[in-house]
Amino acid sequence: MSERVLAELVNGTLSRPQSRALQATRNPAGGTVLGWLPVADAHHVDEAVAAARAAFDDGRWSRLPASDRAQLLVELADQLEANLDALARAETADTGMLLSMTSQGHLPRAIAHCRYFAALCQQQGAECHAMDNAYWQIVRREPLGVVAILPPWSAPLAVATINLAAALAVGNTVVLKSSERAPLTLSLMAELLAALDFPPGVVNVIHGTAEPTGTALVRNRQLDGLCFVGGSDTARHIAAQPASAFRRTLYELGGKSPTIVCADADIEAAVDGALLSAFTSNGEVCTAGSRILLQEDIQDAFLERFVARVGDLRVGDPCDPLSELGPMIDAAHLESIERHLLGAQEEGGRVLCGGQRIADLDGPYLRPAVVAGITPTMRLFHQEVFGPVVGITSFRSPEQAVALANTSEYGLAATVWCADASDGLQLACQLRCGVVAVNSPVIRDIRVPFGGRGASGLGRVGGRWSLEQYSEVKTVSVPLEGYALPRLGLGGKA
């Protein structure tokens, strides 16, 4: 892969701005430079937003028939599909995620997002209500305007497209900023977009660091909507900006998701599910089941099987089909995970397996760790690690399990394992989170809402909830034919 300046797209023009400050983006597996990130400053950000503003205000996109907008989304999906292998390999190189995950999971999802919202936007119609035989009340949806989308470094293209496609489908224009930790696939998508017939300014792709690029973008008062996917602390910073006060905002943030295993659960199935929940995508995913709550009666039997399986997980080159985990995104993130592990041990946690760097692999590789004896007074019980680390906590009764699960500022996802699905459903209804799976890892379906509560976020994506997120509702009243308005100011004259 050649080392070159990444492409950005502003007002319909694709460029590789070499005169800017440049930052290397590297492959976590070995450290090879993949390309150079052109850091957009406040002036460049304002140019991108201004292009999106002009494209929205003159109606070149929002006033197009939905079928025309849908056709361009389908064409984008076609281009993503035609370049699936290259995009999957680029995302694996950029993030350290397994090639099996990017090629069979993330990229197919990105393609499906574009096709799904292309179809859904053509099914939307206005509601009409006759009022007292006097008026038609027409309820219609209209786009917000200019929307900024800031996806994360984990699954960057899939997360970007579920928001981009929905926002475009209802007529918004977009400024998309890549994560400085994984910008490669969004740069490649900018190249694909430039070859399509999107009107200039409808989709703008820029790159940069949190400072100055991210700050300049979230402070821009020309934005009507903003989507941020990332850490809760960053979202708090964004929310504190004066420009955030009256715009529509979607936050998809962190999690500390519990896996609850009841005494009557199928232990083998629960172990399988807990492994998938905790370690899929290297544990670098917001829904990771990083808290395992075990009913005391089955704790020993579960841990015997679980720890043995964790110890056998294959960590290695993410392009190797035998690997089950790859490297962390970078050395700084690996060090953060190690600090979490050290803190847990200092507070009384017992590392049952893992937690060591893998010296014979070139890159930030870590053996997945299981830490027992975690209580609600410990930081590991509450703090998101965003890596292959799980904490083990015991409980006596289902009621205590619910209380433990809800003892968190996060409220994104949870899983419940028990013999009777109806019992699992009862527990699910008591958990304060956005998504719960019973006797299964959490499954995302584009047709249903996804999002969290509390520090896990605000708003929902998926299905019609995405279209609602990126649109406003307007009511229009029209008198029925023959209806006469009361007349005022006639001095009593008929």
Active site residues: 252, 286
Identify the residue whose tokens are 């910073």.
237
Residue type, 359: A
Sequence-distant (6+) residues with CB within 8 A of 430 are: 402, 406
CB 366 within 8 A of CB 388: yes
CB 119 within 8 A of CB 69: no
Question: Cα–Cα distance between 466 and 165 in angstroms, integer?
Answer: 9
Question: Cα–Cα distance between 227 and 459 in angstroms, integer?
Answer: 10
Cis peptide upstream of residue 212 (ω within 30 degrees of 0): yes
Identify the residue whose tokens are 């076609």.
78
Residue type, 287: T
- Crossing angle (nearest 10°) for helices 156-169 and 66-82: 160
Residue type, 443: I
Strands of the sheet containing 127-131, edge to edge, are 127-131, 135-143, 471-479
Buried-state track 305-322, b at ≥16 Cβ within 10 A, e below 16: bbbebbeebebbbbeeee
Q: In this structure, what are the phi and psi dihedrals at residue 253, rounded to the nearest 5 degrees?
A: -115, -155
Q: In this structure, what are the phi and psi dihedrals at residue 79, rounded to the nearest 5 degrees?
A: -70, -40
Whole-angstrom CA distances from 406 to 340, 376, 400, 428, 456 are: 21, 11, 10, 11, 13
Question: Cα–Cα distance between 163 and 388 in angstroms, integer?
Answer: 27
Within a 13 Å sphere around the CA of 53, how many CA atoms are in the beta-carbon half? 11
Beta bridge partners, 475, equal 139
Q: How far is CA 97 from the centre of its chain?
A: 15
